[in-house]
Chain A
């Protein structure tokens, strides 16, 4: 499987601040890849390096088979980018910006443009200075989605959208996946990433901490078990992979690592189970666990 983006050991400093500290990111062609991290983790810096706006201090980065810095102009014709904070020109209308950006990228599908304008309920006749943050984002989104490109790089594209528009955005991205476009979606809205992404990369303090499919990552995390038992259970507390065990009046609560799930359940079944509630790990838990732990 080819990779649209492959980044290894990327480093970047601004003065004394180290923004990227050996970051790895691999996005396969045709997938929607979630790029997660708290504020200031280095998501935007990574994207700016991939776009040839900034130069990395060290490490390697390749984008659509080219060098993001040296081949910037040629590569840009094959991708579209939506920044997290979209600034438009005050005296250009939204429609003008959409057309201009599309033409500069090398082509725009007018039917798709009109369809997207309708779906996002965007008035293209308003001037740049009169749009709200969400509407400015919609302008950049329509320009990117209607462009004829292989790769979409979206930096927190829904941070200004209302819930209805966010649903529209999800539908549109699902369409993109069906059309085999590659999408790098930077976000910290976990439900969005969970709903849309094939694979995700979690970064923190300029370093990649996890990467893989959601299933892979769930494997790394704990399931919550709450069970009502017929008799007392022994040896559960000492079982490796069982955490936070609490027992009260025939009920047990605990969290269990994915690889310890089977032996733990066998113990429960051994004494007899009256009821059982199991909660699969959410991305949120995974995320919080990554961030609460001190940096490695």
Chain B
């Protein structure tokens, strides 16, 4: 373990801004929920009514997890059910950033040649991720207790968040060994998290219906920690499988790390063609090669999400069919005409944000190309800067549209088959997801603008996506001011299907995207390459 301590300090020095940026807000959001729920539902009766409705709302259960109680603490713990997924995401990214990304950049070699043990880098990254989760728990539990909630439940809920983070830090450690590079390691970890989330979602939604596939939740590490039910049943035993899985994964990562070379993955590299295919002769053809894997991955993911969301839609319909008062509640919520429409409108908002994450990831590739130096290779041939950038923009702007269309078509098809109106549902759902496109483009354009005008701050585009996600997930619950909500382009998209749509927001958002994107293109034509 020689050198692990030094490496931990090095990571903390490099991430002294980044770590607090996610640890502190994610730790404090649940405490903010407490006061906001107290304000929203001042009487017990109102709160219990809300809890009853929510517990049976498939859209809510899909997003936040199951709800088995009506107490304030239980409601807060349930509503914060999406946060462990974010904790897991940031923990995984932290581990990959300090293992595989460093290795790709050659920093691991620099350190590996110094007097540090073989596993020091891996363990240092894991220690930092575990430590960050411990700090998160240590902030969160007292914050909840200070809001007047029971100590036991507060500790359990803090553990729920931290365990989710630690498990996926360990998942990321394994992915970092399996993949051949940082990008594919990140994709593997994200796919693992996505599968865990979708399994939990499918199992929980099934549980509020007939329960036939309820066991799916138990295949998901996210499902384990969400079944701890803090402030309610206070289930402690999921800690055992969570810690067990973490230990097994860390052991696996260490074993794999010892059995591969620096720079190589466990999954083997196949030789490529000696001569390029005749079509590989333009920046667009190159961009296709560079974006192909990402596009296929995201479209597949969106198809799966469409499948799950579409399948759940029918159970929402069944639920409402059983209960006229629920139908009434849904009709009042957000002005949507029906329960299913309200659910689908909520789901399309989530899909839009995920598509925005894809758009930003695809766009920031150009910054990676510039930083690595491979952009120079192309830009010093007959390809102009505009042609080079435009080739990448094709994928960053149209890739998410394709992904959204696929998810909408699949969801509409699955839901239509169940409800007996395939043509109608496909049109309605497809329309709803495609309505998100202008907002997705605004975020993509923000990334283009930053890349062209303030290249050093290009990664801030991720911050914009995260901010929109927070507005969507916690904006209403925290009763944020309307102007804060209005900052997210997604706020301006009408709730479709069901809501009232006018052309204005679509036209305005598209115009904003065009103007910001054009400013970025103009900036890129004029600036130095590379700008560090």
Contacts and interface: CB of A to CB of B under 8 A. Distances in A.
Given A55-B528, A83-B376, A91-B293, A76 B271 contact: no
A104 B529 contact: no
Contacts of A103: 276, 280-281
B376 A92 contact: no
Interface string B370-401: 00111011111111100000000000000000
Nearest to B275: A95
B290 interface: yes
B282 interface: yes
Given A73-B382, A125-B273, A126-B272, A89 B374 contact: yes
B378 A92 contact: no
Given A54-B529, A130-B269, A91 B289 contact: yes
Contacts of A124: 274-275
A106 interface: yes
Given A83-B377, A100-B286, A104-B281, A125 B274 contact: yes
Given A53-B379, A129-B181, A104 B271 contact: no
A84 to B, nearest CB: 9
Contacts of A55: 526, 528
B382 A95 contact: no
A215 B383 CA distance: 40
Interface residues of B, number: 38
B373 A76 contact: no
A53, A83, A97, A125 pick with most chain B CB within 10 angstroms: A53
Given A83-B377, A129-B180, A105 B273 contact: no
Contacts, number: 114
B271 A125 contact: yes
Nearest to A105: B381
Contact of A101 (B263, B372, B377, B384): B377
A86 B373 contact: yes
Interface in B356-382: 372-374, 376-382
Contact of A96 (B180, B273, B374, B380): B273
Contacts of B526: 55
Contact of B276 (A77, A81, A99, A127): A99
Interface in A87-126: 87-93, 95-101, 103-106, 124-126
B222 to A, nearest CB: 31
B271 A127 contact: yes
Interface in B234-285: 263, 269-277, 280-283, 285
Contacts of A73: 382-384
B274 A76 contact: no
Interface in B27-67: none
Given A53-B528, A83-B376, A76 B275 contact: no
Contacts of A101: 377-378, 381
Nearest to B380: A81
Nearest to A124: B274
B380 A51 contact: yes
A100 B383 contact: no
B180 A54 contact: no
Contacts of A127: 269-272
Contacts of B374: 87-89
A285 B374 CA distance: 37
Contacts of A95: 272-276
A103 to B, nearest CB: 4
A85 interface: yes
Interface residues of A, number: 39
A41 interface: no
B120 to A, nearest CB: 24
A9 B306 CA distance: 62
Nearest to B377: A101
Contacts of B269: 127, 129-130
A55 B289 CA distance: 30
A69 to B, nearest CB: 10
A64 interface: no
A83 B529 CA distance: 13
Contact of B376 (A53, A98, A106): A53
Nearest to B265: A129
Contacts of B272: 91-93, 95-96, 125-127
Contacts of A202: none
A118 to B, nearest CB: 12
B268 to A, nearest CB: 11
A21 B360 CA distance: 39
Contacts of A196: none
Interface string B442-476: 00000000000000000000000000000000000
Given A53-B376, A105-B381, A126-B272, A96 B528 contact: no
A90 B382 contact: no
Contacts of A99: 275-276, 280-281
Contacts of A81: 376, 380
Contacts of A54: 528-529
Nearest to B276: A99
A101 B376 CA distance: 11
A124 B378 CA distance: 19
Contacts of B528: 48, 53-55
A104 B378 contact: yes
Interface string A45-75: 0001001011100000000000000001100
Interface in A136-172: 140
B525 to A, nearest CB: 10
B372 A126 contact: no
B92 to A, nearest CB: 21
B273 A93 contact: yes
Contact of A83 (B280, B286, B373, B382): B373
A89 B290 contact: yes
Contacts of A89: 286, 289-290, 374
Contacts of A53: 376, 379-380, 528-530
Contact of A140 (B181, B271, B293, B377): B377
A91 B276 CA distance: 13
B86 to A, nearest CB: 29
A77 B382 contact: yes
A92 B272 CA distance: 7
B289 A90 contact: no
A15 to B, nearest CB: 11
21 contacts: A48-B528, A86-B373, A89-B289, A89-B374, A91-B272, A91-B290, A92-B272, A93-B272, A93-B273, A95-B275, A96-B276, A101-B381, A103-B276, A104-B382, A124-B274, A125-B272, A126-B271, A126-B272, A129-B180, A129-B181, A129-B263
- The 5 A-B pairs with the shortest beta carbon distances in the complex, nearest first, are A93-B272, A99-B276, A104-B381, A103-B281, A96-B276
